[in-house]
Amino acid sequence: MPDQTRPPGQRVTIYDVALEADVSPSTVSRAFSRPSRVNSETAERIRQVAGRLGYRTNPLARALTTSRTQMIALVIADITNPVYAEIVRGAQEVAADGEYTTVLIDAQESDRLERAAVERTMSTVDGIVLASSRMSDSAIRMVAKQRPVVVLNRALADVPCVVTDDPRGVRRAAEHLGELGHDHITYVAGPQASWPNGVRWRSLLEAGMELEIKVRQIGPFSPTMAGGERAAQELCARPATAVLAFNDQMAIGIIRGLSRMGVNVPGDVSVVGFDNILAADIVTPRLTTVAAPLYAEGSAATRHLLTMIEGAPGHTGRPMVLPVRLVVRDSTAARNPSPGRARPSWVRQRPVPGPAAHLP
Tens digit of each residue's pLDDT (9 = 90 or more) over 222-242? 999 999 999 999 998 888 899
- In this prediction, residue 34 carries a pLDDT of 67
Percent helix, strand, coil in the chain, to 5, is 45, 15, 40
Query: CATH number of the domain at 166-292, please?
Result: 3.40.50.2300
Could you read off the pLDDT of 74-90 as tens digits, one per residue? 999 999 999 999 999 99
- Name the β-bridge partners of 214: 184
Give the domain ranges of the chain.
14-57, 69-164+295-322, 166-292
Q: Exposure string (b/e) for 288-303, b if CB count within 10 Å is 16 or more? A: bbbbbbbbbbbbbbbb
Distances (CA, A) of 360 to 247, 256, 285: 21, 13, 21
Cα–Cα distance, 257 to 119 (Å, whole number): 40
3-state SS assignment for residue 130: strand
3-class secondary structure, 281? helix
232: part of which helix (H) or strand (E)? helix 225-237
128 DSSP β-pair partners: 73, 149
Sign of CA dihedral 121, 99, 147, 90: negative
Report the SS3 class of residue 20: helix
- Strands laid side by side in the 320-322 sheet: 101-106, 71-76, 127-131, 149-152, 161-164, 320-322
Task: Report residue 127's pLDDT band, with 50, 70 and 90 as the boundaries.
Answer: very high
Using CA atoms, how far residue 59 sits from 10, 34, 222, in Å, is 19, 13, 39
Second CATH level (architecture) for the domain 69-164+295-322 = 3-Layer(aba) Sandwich (3.40)
**How far is Cα 264 from Cα 350, in angstroms, rounded to an integer?**
12
3-state secondary structure of 334: coil
Q: Which residues lie across from 320 on neighbouring strands? A: 162
Residue 71, beta-bridge partner list: 101
Strands 325-327 and 288-291: antiparallel
Reported confidence tier of residue 8, pLDDT bands at 50, 70, 90: low
Give yes or no on whether 14-57 and 166-292 have one common fold. Answer: no
**Among 104-118, 265-279, 302-316, which is the least confidently predicted range?**
302-316
pTM of the model: 0.77
Provide the percentage of residues in the chain whose pLDDT is more than 90.
Answer: 67
> Which of 23-32, 52-61, 216-225, 293-302 has the weakest average pLDDT?
52-61
CA distances from 20 to 45, 55, 213, 291 (A): 10, 12, 75, 54
The third-level CATH classification (topology) of the domain covering 14-57 is 434 Repressor (Amino-terminal Domain) (1.10.260)
Share of the chain above pLDDT 70, in %: 86
Cβ neighbours of residue 213 under 8 Å, at least 6 residues apart?
174, 177, 178, 182, 183, 184, 185, 207
User: Using CA atoms, how far apart are residues 177 and 185, in angstroms rounded to an integer?
Assistant: 8
